[in-house]
């Protein structure tokens, strides 16, 4: 033994290979026979998502189907990753609306600031995550597509615990 | 009814070869899915279950994938040997099956067909000889790839296989002492009960040779490169060892070879220690063909099927044990592996041969004839030996750090506390 290496003698029960191996074998056999499998058959059965899950965006609409957005410009301002593109316009009644409203879901970090900052509760994050696409362009959601989304919107706070305690 | 001869014999042999090879390949296919299923269950997963019922067709999907993938040929590889290595990996494991009797003889109108591809007189010596060829596949694959990881893996693999070959061969010596014959069908008959003909032991050799089974099984694990002895494939250290550079079907052939080897070792343990195709607690299936062609017992076709089933069940259970061990025990460190092989297994097996030889001498001196009581006395001796063995192994001296082991190297084999 080189130098002053301290050799700690462990008790037999701890250092025995045979006992440890036997114990391991019994554990694996127990798991083999146990009917309680943890695998979730994903595409068939899905997670129940929490109400505050932040996922794909969704635009709220008026009863007549127009987007609620008033193109105030707060969400592109607050967005930390600049993933929202907004070009405002005004209609004949002098009401502002978004001529172009695009969210790049690839860039988005799903922080939820846009939903928090929106004065008219138009843009929301949603409880939804399966948005794979075949091309990158498809990841930029335009206004029409944001309006089309049907999943539930993210709750900003837990209704059972509004003060987050 | 006498055994078949002439043209019928040749035809029967060709039939058996074709049938048996396809059955073995099918068994290998399902061994892979079996392993994945069992491993999944042991980890509380469900294993592959998407392709076909219970994922049973997954093997076909995997096979197709492997056939369609690109075959890479490394620039620095030595071409002829690189191509030869997978063949050498798969060949010994499959032709080993030729000497394994897998069911009771089948009566046909041309005579009795023994359910063994080649009943060679050298029996399991053939097994040991062909078994050692397996090391060429590993060593050659590692060397011909021209990659340092492959080379290291191949070196480790060949060193390990050569080391454990010794213990593997020696652990069968007590079997020869007991049977006095190396033909596999004869070894199966020796484990059955007969009212006529030469004396047999009337019990599976797992009882009179319990410790021998342990040595054979451990060496078999090392021979097949399965955990806890899967040094050649230690991913963390060697990428994947000797088949790092292989891809597609050539890689697949190494895997097929490994699984075929597992099934072969399981079948060998069945034949040597678990009564082969013998069905326990039933004497009706005891059929023996003596070397002069006399047949003892009444062979029928349904007995052949039943015994084939018994052989399959025993072999599958042993494959399950292989898989069970693989998904439980972690890999040994390389020096521990070599220590276990050379400093423990070799000595212990040698001592075991001596003890069994002396006990057999003693039994014959006392005058107990070969039979149940003979086996019982040996069983008691083996129980005592197993007790000593496990007491020694439990002292924590067998598998431990190199420095400590080196200091008390002499004491290890004798099982003294370190």
Contact check, Cβ <8 Å, A25/B328? yes
Contact check, Cβ <8 Å, B44/A28? no
Q: What is the dihedral of CA A89, A95, A97, A99, to 10 degrees?
A: -30
pLDDT of residue B407: 41
Shortest Cα distance, chain A CAs vs residue B396, angstroms: 5
Closest by Cβ to A37, choosing from B45, B400, B404: B45
**Quick one: which H or E segment has residue B296?**
strand B295-296
Q: Which residue of B has its CA nearest to A25?
A: B328
Q: Position of tokens 């595409």?
A: A43
Shortest Cα distance, chain A CAs vs residue B230, angstroms: 17
pLDDT at residue B236 tops 60: yes
Contact check, Cβ <8 Å, B396/A16? yes
pLDDT at residue B400 tops 60: no
Phi, psi of B104 (to 5 degrees): -70, 155
As a whole number of angstroms, the distance between CA B336 and CA B346 comes to 14
Contact check, Cβ <8 Å, B324/A37? no
**Cα→Cα distances B210→B175, B273, B398, Å:** 11, 8, 20
pLDDT at residue A51 tops 70: yes
Question: From chain A, which residues contact B within 8 Å (Cβ)?
Answer: 1, 7, 10, 12, 15-19, 21, 24-25, 27-29, 31-32, 34, 36-39, 41
pLDDT of residue A109: 93
Shortest Cα distance, chain B CAs vs residue A27, angstroms: 8
Is residue A124 within 8 A of residue A115, CB to CB? The reply is yes
Closest by Cβ to B396, choosing from A15, A21, A38: A15
pLDDT in tens, B86-116: 888 888 888 888 888 888 888 888 878 888 8
Contact check, Cβ <8 Å, A19/B400? no
Report residue B76 as tokens: 């620095």
Interface test with chain A among B35, B42, B49, B317, by most A beta carbons within 10 Å = B42
Question: Which range has the worst mean pLDDT, A93-102, B198-207, B284-293?
Answer: B284-293
Which residues, 6 or more positions from B210, have their beta carbon under 8 angstroms from its beta carbon? B379, B382, B383, B385, B386
List the end-to-end C-alpha distance of chain A, in Å, as a whole number: 58
What is the full DSSP assignment across A80-108? Answer: TT--EEEEEEE-TTS-EEEEEEEEETTT-
Task: Supply the angle between the helices B248-273 and B124-131 in degrees, to the nearest 10.
Answer: 150
Contact check, Cβ <8 Å, A31/B44? yes
Contact check, Cβ <8 Å, B394/A7? no
Q: Which residue of B has its CA nearest to A26?
A: B328
Closest by Cβ to A36, choosing from B44, B390, B403: B44
pLDDT of residue A26: 92
Q: pLDDT tier at B298 (50, 70, 90 boundaries)?
A: confident
Contact check, Cβ <8 Å, B404/A25? no
pLDDT in tens, B240-278: 778 888 888 888 888 888 888 889 889 999 998 988 888
Interstrand relation of B288-289 and B295-296 (parallel, antiparallel or unpaired): antiparallel
Contacts of A27 in chain B (CB under 8 A): 328
pLDDT in tens, B48-82: 888 888 888 888 888 888 889 888 888 888 888 98
Shortest Cα distance, chain A CAs vs residue B169, angstroms: 24
In chain A, what percentage of residues exceed pLDDT 90? 37
As a whole number of angstroms, the distance between CA A59 and CA A126 comes to 10
Contact check, Cβ <8 Å, B393/A17? yes
Is residue B91 within 8 A of residue B133, CB to CB? The reply is yes
Name which of B174, B165, B166 is nearest B224 in CA terms.
Answer: B165
pLDDT at residue A15 tops 80: no
As a whole number of angstroms, the distance between CA B162 and CA B222 comes to 10
Beta bridge partner(s), residue B363:
none
Mean pLDDT of chain A: 87
Shortest Cα distance, chain B CAs vs residue A36, angstroms: 7
Name which of B168, B189, B190, B170 is nearest B178 in CA terms.
Answer: B190
Q: pLDDT tier at B320 (50, 70, 90 boundaries)?
A: very high
Q: Which residue of B has its CA nearest to A23?
A: B328
pLDDT at residue B416 tops 70: no
In chain B, what percentage of residues exceed pLDDT 90? 7
How many CB atoms lie under 10 A from the CB of residue B234? Answer: 17
Contact check, Cβ <8 Å, B324/A34? no
Contact check, Cβ <8 Å, A28/B324? yes
Q: pLDDT tier at B417 (50, 70, 90 boundaries)?
A: very low
pLDDT in tens, A76-127: 999 999 999 999 999 888 888 999 999 999 999 999 999 999 999 899 999 9
| pTM score | 0.81
Q: pLDDT tier at B401 (50, 70, 90 boundaries)?
A: very low
Shortest Cα distance, chain B CAs vs residue A47, angstroms: 17
Is residue B6 within 8 A of residue B24, CB to CB? The reply is no
pLDDT at residue B397 tops 70: no
pLDDT in tens, B11-54: 888 988 898 888 888 888 888 888 988 988 998 888 888 888 88
As a whole number of angstroms, the distance between CA B86 and CA B81 comes to 9
pLDDT of residue A75: 92
As a whole number of angstroms, the distance between CA B55 and CA A39 comes to 14
Mean pLDDT of chain B: 82
As a whole number of angstroms, the distance between CA B351 and CA B381 comes to 13
Contacts of B41 in chain A (CB under 8 A): 31-32, 37
pLDDT in tens, B342-362: 888 888 899 999 999 998 888
Phi, psi of B347 (to 5 degrees): -65, -45
């Amino acid at each position: 033994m080189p130098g002053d290496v301290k050799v700690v003698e462990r008790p037999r029960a701890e250092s025995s290979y045979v006992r440890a191996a036997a114990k391991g074998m019994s554990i694996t056999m127990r798991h083999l026979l146990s009917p309680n499998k943890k695998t979730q058959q994903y595409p068939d059965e899905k997670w129940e998502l929490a109400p505050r899950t932040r996922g794909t965006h969704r635009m709220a609409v008026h009863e007549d189907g127009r987007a609620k957005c008033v193109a105030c410009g707060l969400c592109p301002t607050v967005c930390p990753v600049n993933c929202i593109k907004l070009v405002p316009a005004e209609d004949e009644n002098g009401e502002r609306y978004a001529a172009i409203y695009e969210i790049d879901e690839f860039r988005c970090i799903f922080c939820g600031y846009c939903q928090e900052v929106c004065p008219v509760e138009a843009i929301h994050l949603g409880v939804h995550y399966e948005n794979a696409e075949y091309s990158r362009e498809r990841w930029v959601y335009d206004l029409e597509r944001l309006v089309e989304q049907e999943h539930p919107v993210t709750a900003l706070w837990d209704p059972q615990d509004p003060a987050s305690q | 009814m006498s055994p078949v001869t002439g043209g019928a014999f040749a035809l029967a042999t060709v039939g058996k070869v074709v049938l048996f090879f396809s059955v073995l390949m099918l068994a290998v296919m399902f061994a892979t899915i079996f392993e994945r299923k069992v491993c999944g269950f042991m980890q509380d997963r469900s294993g592959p279950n998407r392709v076909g019922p219970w994922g049973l067709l997954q093997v076909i999907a995997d096979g197709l994938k492997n056939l369609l993938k690109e075959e890479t040929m490394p620039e620095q590889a030595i071409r002829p040997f690189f191509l030869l290595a997978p063949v050498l990996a798969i060949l010994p494991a499959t032709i080993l099956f030729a000497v394994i009797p897998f069911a009771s003889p089948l009566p046909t109108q041309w005579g009795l067909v023994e359910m063994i591809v080649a009943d060679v007189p050298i029996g399991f010596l053939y097994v040991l000889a062909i078994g050692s060829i397996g090391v060429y596949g590993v060593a050659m694959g590692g060397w011909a790839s021209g990659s340092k990881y492959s080379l290291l893996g191949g070196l480790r693999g060949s060193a390990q296989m050569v080391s454990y070959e010794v213990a593997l061969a020696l652990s069968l010596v007590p079997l020869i002492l007991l049977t006095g014959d190396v033909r596999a069908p004869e070894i199966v008959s020796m484990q059955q009960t007969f009212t006529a003909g030469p004396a047999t032991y009337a019990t599976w050799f797992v009882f009179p040779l319990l410790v021998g089974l342990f040595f054979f099984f451990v060496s078999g694990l090392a021979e097949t490169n399965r955990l806890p002895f899967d040094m050649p494939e230690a991913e963390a250290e060697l990428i994947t060892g000797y088949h790092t550079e292989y891809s597609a079907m050539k890689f697949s052939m190494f895997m097929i070879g490994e699984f075929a080897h597992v099934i072969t070792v399981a079948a060998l343990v069945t034949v040597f220690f678990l009564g082969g195709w013998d069905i326990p607690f039933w004497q009706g299936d005891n059929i023996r063909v003596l070397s002069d062609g006399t047949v003892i017992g009444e062979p029928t076709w349904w007995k052949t099927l039943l015994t084939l089933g018994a052989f399959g069940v025993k072999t599958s259970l042993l494959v399950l044990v292989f898989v069970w061990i693989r998904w439980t025990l972690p890999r040994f460190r390389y020096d521990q592996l070599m220590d276990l092989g050379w400093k423990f297994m070799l000595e212990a097996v040698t001592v075991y041969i001596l003890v069994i030889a002396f006990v057999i001498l003693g039994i014959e001196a006392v005058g107990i004839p070969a039979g149940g009581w003979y086996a019982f006395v040996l069983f008691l001796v083996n129980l005592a030996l197993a007790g000593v063995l496990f007491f020694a192994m439990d002292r924590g001296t067998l598998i431990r750090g190199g420095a400590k082991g080196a200091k008390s190297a002499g004491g290890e084999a004798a099982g003294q506390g370190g």
